[in-house]
Structure 1
Amino acid sequence: MDDKYYIFSYRPRGDYDAQSKYFFVGTHCANEFLDIIKHDPLPLFNPLIHEQGNHSPGNSNSSGSKDKALIHPFNRELLTATNMLCISWNIIPETRLESFISFTRRRPDNPNYNGIEMFNRIVAKDARKRTLRKMIDELRETNDLKEMRFDLLNQHLDMNGIENHIG
C-alpha cells in the first residue's frame, strides 16, 4: 500500500481548450507512467515534519535539490501555499489553480505576481472566512506540520494595498 500519491492531469490530444481531467496513482505506478512517457521525476510536496518510517532531514518540499535551486523563493511560497490550500479544502487543483500552478512551473525564476493575486482571491472564498494561515493552524492541531512562512506573498499583497487572505 502506498503512502504517497501523484495527481496527474490530462487533456485529449489536440484539444487544448478541453477542461483537464485528473487521476490518482501510487508512487510505483506513477514512476512507471513517467518512465513510459520519458518524463523526469516530479517534485513531491510533503508538509509533514517527518514521514513515518522514512525520515529525511531538512525542510524540502520537492524530491530533489535541483528543483528547489531553480525556483524563485516567491514562487516556492506560492506553490507551497497552493498545496496547503488544496490539503485544507481537500480538493484537486482544477481550473484556475491549475492554470497559475502551470504558469509558475513554466517560468520558475520569474515571480508570479498575478498568480498570488488570483490565489489570494480564491482563498478569500473560504466558506468559513479563514485566512490560509488559520487553515494551516487548524491542520497543525492534528498533524505534525513543518513551519511554513509566506513572507514574500504577504509583503507583495500588503505593498500593493490588497486585502490579505494569506496571513
Structure 2
Amino acid sequence: MKTAREPRDEVDGIVESWGRERPDFDPEPLAVFSRMVRLTYHIDKMRRQAFTRHSIESWEFEMLAALRRQGPPYRLTAGRLMQETLVSSGTVTNRIDRMVARGNARRLPDPTDKRVVHVEATPAGVELVDQAMADLLDLESEQLDGLGANSSRELAALLRELLAHFERGGK
C-alpha cells in the first residue's frame, strides 16, 4: 500500500481498477510491466530528441553505437550487428544500405568467406555517434538525477536481474 508521501502514477490506477473489477486476478505484475511499457515510450521520445539534434534515427544510433563499442577499426560482421541490435537479417541489410548511403558506414568483404560481410563505421559515423552519445548521456543523467546514486544503482541491478531472466528464456 502506498503512503501519502509516495507519488502516484497512471499505473497505480490501472492496478487498483483491475483489483476492484476482477478480485480473482492478481494485477501486481502490471505494477512492473505497465510501468516498463510506459517508461519505454518516454525513453524512446527522449532519445529521439537527442538524436534529432544530430539528424540521426534511433536505429542508426544503435547500429553505429554497436560498431563504435568495438574500438578501432569499429567493425562487426553483418550477422553480429544483427545480434547486437536484435533485428532480422533483412532489417540489418536495409539499415546497412542506408548507413552506407549516408556515408556513416562501409561494407567490406571477408577475405576468406564470400558469404560474410563486415560493416565498418566511417570516421564521420564515429564522430556522429560520439556526439549523439554525449547528448544522450546528458539527457539520461538529468532524468536519473532525482533518484540519487544509490537508487539508480539499485534500479539498474533489479533491471539487470529481470533482463537476464528473459535472456535465459524467461522460465
TM over 0.5: no
Higher relative contact order at CA 8 Å, sep ≥6: structure 1 or structure 2? 1
Q: Which has the higher helix share?
A: 2
Query: Which of structures 1 and 2 has the bigger CA Rg?
Result: 2
TM class by smaller structure: under 0.3
TM-score by length of 2: 0.26
TM score, norm. by length of structure 1: 0.26
